[in-house]
Amino acid sequence: MLRREFLSLSLAGLATSAFAAPDLWGEAQAGRAIVLMRHALAPGTGDPQGFKLGACSTQRNLSAEGRAQAARIGALFRANGIARADVFSSQWCRCLDTASGLDLGPVTEQPLLNSFFGNPEDGRPQTEALHRWIVGLKPTGPVVLVTHQVNITGLTSVVPASGEMLFVTPGAVLPLPVLGRVNGA
């Protein structure tokens, strides 16, 4: 009887470890996963008519809670062993402010991360170009891409909440495989 219980427990342990959730933070640290992040809280939808990139006063921006959320998410990265990352951002002010609020290092603007919400016909070609760029990154450490809901949904088929992070594997086909999600609230 003891032998049978040992065998059952051993098989149960193997099954559990075979299907264990990946260490998302460890995968990002090693450059095997890229973090796709939707910008922090910015009340409203879309942008005002006639907004201009580079002119934050014409755009929908982070609220005070959104700025605090970005700082909390940066602290979450550091609590999980990531103090520095290659951070790329959409050119929208709410994304740039989120990216800089993470305090993980310099932020590089990447136009392929810009929203196509107002021009849905640009969605497919822009998503395909962004996918090619991501596949070509070849990260050796953590990479964080701060962007918009439509961009993340185009890449993964997931609709993220504000500040939510998706840990993805840069695969050869879309949608990108999602290893896991972390709520940035």
At 21-70, the pLDDT tens digits run 689 999 999 999 999 999 999 999 888 888 899 999 999 999 999 999 99
Position 9 in a domain = no
Residues 170, 137: contact at Cβ < 8 Å?
A: yes
CATH number at residue 131: 3.40.50.1240
Residue with tokens 């993964």, as numbered in its chain: 156
pLDDT on residue 47 = 85
- Positions of the chain with pLDDT under 50: 1-18
Q: What is the pLDDT of residue 10?
A: 41
Please indicate, yes or no, if residue 83 is contained in any of the structural domains.
yes
| Domain presence at residue 10 | no
The whole-number pLDDT of residue 21 equals 65
65 in a structural domain: yes
Q: Which domain holds residue 75?
A: 23-182
Closest by CA position to 75, among listed 103, 98, 99, 100: 103
Neighbours of 177 (CB within 10 A): 12
Q: Which pLDDT score is estimated for 43?
A: 93
Q: What integer pLDDT is reported at residue 13 of this predicted model?
A: 41
In a domain? residue 2:
no
Phi, psi of 180 (to 5 degrees): 180, 170
State how many domains the chain has: 1
Q: Is residue 18 part of a domain?
A: no
Query: Per the domain annotation, does 6 fall within a domain?
Result: no
Those residues whose C-beta lies under 8 Å from the C-beta of residue 9, and which sit 6 or more positions away, are none
In a domain, 3, yes or no: no
